[in-house]
């Protein structure tokens, strides 16, 4: 594999979807726009698997580094690389974008403007590049650029192709909230960089910054600023209201991506905690508390939603609370559990939203009060929805089982009270899956005109079957995956402990 | 004795223990595979019609018979003393330094329980192939049953708590599948949900037990768990609270009993094996497995006696006043299981184990026969005993099943839902206004009053507005005090800006601009 690593694998990875975006923007019309989009997404997926192959799992270091000078005067360079923590997000991202493209194959704009599908796919693919960039950027400024750049395609995607009259509100709200979160983020990153530049040149490269040490007071400022900045994206509880709004207003494929890829949690793992270890250590209780709050708040709020998309959105708030709780334990097994759970979201939560979009296309609604007995005509769709629901609450044989086990055991060890609350959260999560399922998919149909709809098309079946098989495969035998994560997780924990 | 020795020699010759031990994982795996095949057949949509019924039944039945045959061989080998007490197949994952292995336990209790489970499960499957003929959910039923069988076999054979928990959850989810078998009926769906959620309480307890065992005992293996008696009693007590709660829920002991009466909504064969004979004894099995730990904490044992005795009384009383045969049977089952729990509490684990085996076999027969009782029993149903009929309070309480369900509803379900509604209100009326997000009912751009260009929302928006108001006032003051030339120049600048802005308002120029900005940055 040595010869593989000599190539700029990651830069090429970023270029695949971007090239596809340019092409689809030129072609504009069906069927070629869709075909080009899908093939470039598939190429990205294949390339990301190649990166997994080229990666050396025994090392906990950053690998496959690509560097190029950018703004030399400020010490800013283009630097990308991956380690065990970020590696698996690349194929997960590529996969979820493939699924999103297939799921929006027949997309039509809901705005009155005459928009070509090519534009939709171009925006989607540029969003993919930005997302992949977030996962492999190792320079703070490059990271921040990708972070903010992901907002632009999202804004247009939601406001032009969203659902119902609330789509513009959702788009504006998302954009504003994310921009507002970007300010503390940038401020925190700059504080960090200036804090470490002792009378010398500025350094923005993450590997160098990780090796340095900040004064404890500065660490507090940096950690809190980054916590707010990433917390908006996670979303942590007082800042979460954009997610249900997006779930109601955004196109389903976009919601699937947003819910499936928890960029905020990744930011906390990659930047906030390791860059300010002393403050993170002191504020461990805050992280655990925020995680617990999200578990309980999201779990309880999901129970009273009237729309299936709202249920999934609040459940996702609760799920990500579990992730935060897992990493707040600052232990290798807690972090491993959190990463497994994040991977499971990419496979299952996103797919659950896609299944809902298939339902929406057939019935014109995901309102629980208007559905009922959907399993009669849509047995497959209902089955998949149930499976993905259960795969989010720790069904044995899916990836969430080892993930939740690791997190809860680690949490019981380090924050027993929070662990107990998480146990209660598993009850709420189960209720939030089964109660809406029982009302919307079982029982008698409430509206007779919904009776005659066809079950899943072959392409829809494929989009749902692949993640289902993957989560089962990884859930039944998680050991290889855990072994891949272990060196990086242990390095992460050692980095926290070493500075104490 | 001589014969036995000859048999032993013969058995050693014909049964290779190493090979037997190697196929042990197949025992729970076979029904699991059957379930997977049935699920894939369902997903592929090839299951429709009567013609597919025999194949479905055959797949499930073959798996059960295969498991049973393997278990019989193992029984033989164990009888002649050629098997190790535990088998480790490999490492599954590890929690910190605590490895979680795929391991199985082979002793008299686990083997006899597993054999009984495979036998009763196989019989029930064979029974259902006829009983459910031409039912729409035929395939679904066999999927649920196979999954359940795999779960139960895993519970009794697993060598560590995590693997047992996997079986525990599989049994729980398959019971949901089978209670909601008649999904058109909202009552069935509601009952399935209630049963699953109650069972989930036990699952949470199980997880608590696993977690505490992992970091206080440094092991989750059943055989290693009792330790050397050096573990602190406080930790042990906490740990046992988790496991005992799990056992009490699964075995429908007080105060969790109500779920089992609701669970009878499923088809008769599944009620027979789940709540009549097999699943309801899983809790007793767990308690017996925990005996090394339980014996170290006497107050936990006392609690078990108390709960078991109370449940035995409760089950007995409620069984007397039931008007249908399945409910009467299930309450007397609960009563019997209560006695087993009490036995465990008094240290008579062997008695509980024997009782559970005999009881499981007998109840399976009774439940499967239940639909035929109308024909089989010539005389009218026995009336409520006179002493109970006379005592109006006890009679009402038994009829109402001591109001346990209403109590749970009032104390748990309703407050939780009310809390959920409060949070929804909180989101809409406190957090949104504070953050300043526009509400869903108003468009951000349309419907603005004539004189305002944009509108601020919430606390953040208002603050920003007040600030910009002050700035505008300051500007006005500065500009108006000048002689006007500044005004004119500014006006021209504003005209240009307007023109540029109107161009920018068109999406393509805005995109271009964004790209240009990026080009500059890069």
Task: Using pLDDT thresholds of 50, 70 and 90, give the confidence band for residue A110.
Answer: low
The pLDDT confidence band at residue A397, using thresholds 50, 70 and 90, is confident
Which whole number is the average pLDDT over A261-288?
89
Q: How far apart are CA A87 and CA B205, in angstroms?
A: 35
Residue B302's region, left for phi above 0, alpha for psi from -120 to 50, else beta, is: alpha
Provide the pLDDT for residue B402.
76
Are A420 and B442 an interchain contact pair (Cβ–Cβ within 8 Å)? no
Q: What is the pLDDT of residue B519?
A: 63
Most confident of A414-418, A443-447, B269-273: A414-418
Percent of chain A with pLDDT over 70: 95
Q: Which of B204, B419, B431 sits opposite A241 (nearest CB)?
A: B431
Q: What token pair was written down for B176? A: 């949901």
pLDDT, residue B507, reads 61
Average pLDDT over residues A106-124: 78
Structure confidence at residue A389 as a pLDDT band (50, 70, 90): very high
Scan residues 247-266 of A and list those with Cβ closer than 8 Å to B. 248
Per-domain boundaries in chain B: 16-389, 482-521
Residue at token pair 């039912």: B135
| Residue B192 in contact with partner chain A when CB distance is under 8 A | yes
Q: What is the pLDDT of residue B373?
A: 77
C-alpha distance from residue B202 to each of A87, A289, B241 (Å): 37, 25, 10
**Least CA distance to A173: which residue of chain B?**
B437
Q: How far apart are the first and last CA of chain A?
A: 37
Residue B445, pLDDT score:
47
Residue in chain A nearest B418 by alpha carbon: A304
Q: Give the residue from chain B lying closest to A299, CA to CA.
A: B420
Mean pLDDT of all residues in B103-129: 89
Name the phi and psi angles at A30, rounded to 5: -70, 155
Which residues lie closer than 8 Å to B240 by C-beta, 6 or more apart? Answer: B209, B290, B293, B294, B297, B300
In this prediction the pTM is 0.87
- In this prediction, residues A445-461 reach a mean pLDDT of 74
SS3 state at A399: coil
- Does the pLDDT value for residue A45 go beyond 70? yes
- The model's confidence at residue B167, banded by pLDDT at 50, 70 and 90, is very high
Question: Cβ contact (<8 Å) for B96 and A173?
Answer: no
- Measured between beta carbons, which residues in chain B are less than 8 angstroms from residue A482? 93-94
Q: How confident is the model at residue A213 (pLDDT cuts 50, 70, 90)?
A: confident
Residue B138 has pLDDT above 50, yes or no: yes
- Does pLDDT of B454 surpass 70? no
Question: What pLDDT was estimated at residue B338?
Answer: 92
Whole-angstrom distance, CA of residue A406 vs CA of residue A408:
6
Pairs of residues, one from chain A and one from chain B, whose beta carbons lie less than 8 Å apart: 162
Q: Does A172 touch chain B (CB under 8 A)?
A: yes
Tell whether the model's pLDDT for residue A90 goes beyond 90: yes
User: Which of A298, A292, A349 lies closest to A326, judged by CA?
Assistant: A292
Both tokens of A359, joined, read 């339902």
Q: What is the pLDDT of residue B504?
A: 64
| Residue B458, φ and ψ in degrees, nearest 5 | 65, -170
Q: Which positions 25-54 of B are in contact with A (Cβ < 8 Å)? A: 42-43, 45
Is the pLDDT at B339 greater than 70? The verdict is yes
> Interior CA angle at B183 toward B181 and B189, to 5°?
95
Buried b (16+ CB within 10 A) or exposed e, B53-81: beebbebbbebbbbbbebbebbbbbbebe
Whether residue A65 contacts residue A79, with contact meaning beta carbons closer than 8 Å, is answered with yes
Give the residue-averaged pLDDT of B356-375.
84
| pLDDT given at position B446 | 46
pLDDT band at B47 (very low <50, low <70, confident <90, very high): low
Contacts of B210 in chain A (CB under 8 A): 405, 409
Average pLDDT over residues B323-332: 84
Supply the pLDDT for residue A1: 46
pLDDT at B284 over 80: yes
- Interface mutation target, options A164, A443, A446, chain B, most CBs of B under 10 Å: A443
Residue B235: its pLDDT value, please?
81
Q: Do B173 and A390 touch (CB under 8 A)?
A: yes
Residues in chain B within 8 Å Cβ distance of A239: 435
Are A479 and B427 a contacting pair at CB < 8 A?
no
pLDDT score of A198: 64
Chain B contact for A427 (CB, 8 A cutoff): yes
Quick one: B361 exposed, middle or buried, by C-beta within 10 A (0-12, 13-18, 19+)?
middle
Read off the pLDDT band of A199 (50, 70, 90).
low
Over residues B93-109, the mean pLDDT reads 85
Summarize the confidence of residues A326-352 as an average pLDDT: 90
Least confidently predicted of A53-62, A331-340, B370-379: B370-379
Mean pLDDT of chain A: 86
Residue B448 has pLDDT above 60, yes or no: no
Q: Has residue A365 got a pLDDT over 90?
A: no
pLDDT at B515 > cutoff 80: no
CA–CA dist A173, A187 (Å, integer): 22
Asked if A417 reaches chain B (Cβ–Cβ under 8 Å), the answer is: no
Mean pLDDT of A170-174: 83
**A423 → closest Cβ in B92, B173, B207:** B207
Write down the pLDDT at residue B246.
92
3-state helix, strand, coil in chain B (%, to 5): 75, 5, 20
Model confidence at B285, pLDDT cuts 50, 70, 90, reads very high
For chain A, positions 83-142, list CB contacts with chain B under 8 A.
none
ipTM for the assembly: 0.89
Model confidence at A132, pLDDT cuts 50, 70, 90, reads: very high
């Amino acid at each position: 594999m040595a010869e593989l690593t000599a190539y700029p694998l990651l830069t090429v990875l970023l270029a695949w979807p971007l090239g596809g975006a340019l092409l689809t923007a030129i072609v504009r019309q069906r069927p070629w726009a869709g075909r080009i989009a899908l093939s470039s997404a598939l190429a990205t997926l294949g390339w990301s698997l190649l990166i997994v192959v080229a990666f050396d799992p025994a090392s906990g270091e950053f690998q496959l580094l690509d560097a190029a000078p950018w703004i030399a005067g400020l010490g800013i360079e283009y630097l990308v690389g991956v380690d065990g923590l970020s590696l698996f997000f690349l194929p997960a991202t590529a996969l979820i974008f493939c699924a999103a493209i297939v799921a929006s194959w027949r997309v039509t704009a809901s705005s009155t403007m005459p928009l070509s599908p090519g534009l939709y796919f171009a925006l989607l693919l540029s969003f993919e590049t930005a997302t992949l960039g977030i996962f492999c950027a190792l320079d703070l400024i490059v990271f921040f650029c990708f972070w903010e750049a992901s907002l632009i395609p999202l804004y247009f995607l939601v406001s032009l192709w969203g659902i119902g009259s609330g789509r513009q509100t959702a788009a504006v709200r998302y954009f504003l909230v994310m921009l507002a979160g970007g300010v503390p983020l940038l401020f925190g990153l700059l504080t960090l960089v200036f804090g470490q530049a002792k009378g010398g040149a500025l350094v923005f490269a993450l590997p160098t910054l990780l090796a340095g040490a900040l004064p404890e007071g500065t660490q507090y400022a940096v950690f809190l600023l980054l916590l707010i900045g990433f917390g908006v994206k996670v979303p942590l509880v007082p800042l979460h209201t954009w997610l249900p709004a997006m779930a109601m207003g955004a196109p389903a494929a976009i919601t699937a991506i947003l819910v499936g890829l928890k960029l905020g949690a990744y930011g906390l793992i990659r930047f906030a905690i390791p860059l300010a270890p002393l403050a993170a250590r002191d504020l461990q209780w805050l992280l655990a508390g925020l995680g617990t709050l999200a578990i309980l708040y999201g779990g309880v709020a999901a129970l009273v939603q009237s729309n299936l998309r709202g249920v999934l959105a609040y459940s996702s708030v609760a799920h990500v609370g579990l992730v935060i709780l897992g990493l707040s334990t600052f232990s290798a097994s807690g972090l491993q559990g959190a990463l497994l759970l994040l991977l499971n979201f990419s496979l299952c939560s996103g797919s659950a939203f896609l299944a809902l979009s298939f339902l929406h296309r057939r019935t014109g609604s995901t309102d629980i009060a208007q559905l009922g007995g959907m399993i009669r005509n849509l047995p497959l769709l209902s089955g998949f929805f149930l499976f993905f629901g259960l795969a989010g609450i720790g069904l044995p044989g899916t990836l969430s089982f080892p993930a939740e086990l690791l997190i809860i055991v680690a949490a019981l060890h380090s924050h027993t009270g929070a662990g107990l609350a998480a146990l209660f959260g598993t009850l709420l999560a189960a209720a939030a899956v089964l109660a809406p399922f029982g009302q919307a998919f079982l029982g008698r149909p409430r509206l007779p005109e919904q009776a005659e709809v066809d079950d899943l098309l072959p392409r829809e079946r494929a989009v749902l079957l692949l993640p289902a098989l993957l989560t089962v495969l990884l859930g039944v035998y998680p050991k290889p995956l855990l072994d891949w994560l272990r060196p990086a997780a242990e390095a992460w924990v050692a980095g926290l402990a070493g500075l104490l | 004795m001589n014969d036995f020795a000859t048999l032993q020699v013969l058995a050693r010759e014909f049964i290779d223990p190493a090979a037997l031990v190697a196929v042990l994982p197949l025992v729970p795996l076979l029904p699991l595979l059957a379930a997977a095949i049935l699920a894939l057949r369902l997903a592929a949509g090839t299951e429709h019609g009567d013609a597919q019924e025999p194949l479905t039944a055959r797949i499930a039945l073959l798996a059960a018979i295969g498991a049973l045959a393997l278990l019989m061989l193992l029984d033989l080998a164990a009888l002649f003393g050629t098997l190790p007490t535990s088998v480790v197949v490999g490492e599954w994952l590890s929690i910190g330094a605590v490895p979680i292995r795929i391991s199985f336990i082979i002793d008299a209790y686990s083997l006899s329980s597993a054999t009984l489970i495979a036998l009763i499960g196989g019989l029930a499957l064979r029974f259902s192939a006829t009983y459910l003929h031409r039912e729409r959910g035929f395939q679904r039923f066999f999927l649920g049953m196979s999954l359940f069988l795999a779960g139960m076999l895993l519970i009794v054979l697993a060598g560590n708590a995590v693997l047992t928990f996997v079986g525990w959850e599989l049994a729980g989810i398959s019971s949901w599948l089978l209670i909601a078998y008649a999904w058109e009926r909202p009552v069935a769906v509601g009952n399935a949900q209630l049963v699953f959620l109650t069972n989930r309480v036990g699952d949470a307890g199980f997880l608590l037990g696993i977690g505490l065992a992992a970091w206080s005992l440094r092991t989750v293996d059943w055989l290693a768990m009792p330790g050397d008696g050096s573990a602190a009693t406080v930790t042990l007590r906490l740990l046992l609270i988790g496991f005992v709660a799990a056992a009490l829920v699964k075995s429908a002991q007080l105060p969790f009993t109500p779920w089992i009466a609701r669970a009878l909504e499923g088809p008769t064969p599944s009620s027979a094996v789940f709540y009549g004979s097999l699943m309801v004894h899983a809790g007793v099995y767990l308690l017996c497995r925990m005996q090394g730990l339980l014996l170290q904490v006497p107050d936990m044992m006392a609690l078990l006696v108390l709960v078991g005795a109370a449940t035995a009384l409760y089950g007995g009383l409620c069984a007397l006043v039931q008007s249908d045969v399945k409910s009467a049977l299930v309450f007397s089952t609960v009563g019997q299981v209560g006695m087993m729990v009490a036995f465990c509490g008094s240290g008579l684990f062997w008695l509980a184990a024997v009782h559970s085996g005999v009881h499981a076999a007998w109840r399976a027969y009774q439940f499967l026969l239940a639909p035929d009782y109308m024909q089989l029993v010539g005389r009218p149903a026995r009336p409520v005993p006179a002493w109970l009929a006379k005592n109006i309070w006890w009679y009402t309480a038994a009829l109402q099943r001591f109001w346990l369900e209403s109590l749970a509803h009032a104390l748990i379900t309703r407050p939780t839902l009310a809390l959920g509604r409060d949070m929804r209100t909180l989101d809409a009326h406190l957090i949104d206004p504070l953050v300043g997000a526009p509400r869903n009912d108003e468009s951000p751009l349309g419907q603005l009053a004539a004189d305002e260009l944009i509108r601020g929302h919430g606390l953040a928006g208002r603050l920003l507005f007040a600030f910009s108001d002050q700035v505008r006032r300051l500007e006005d003051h500065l500009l108006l005090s000048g002689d006007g030339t500044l005004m004119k120049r500014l006006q021209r600048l504003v005209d240009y800006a307007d023109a540029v802005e109107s161009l920018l308002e068109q999406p393509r120029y805005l995109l271009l601009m964004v790209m240009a900005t990026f080009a500059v940055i890069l």
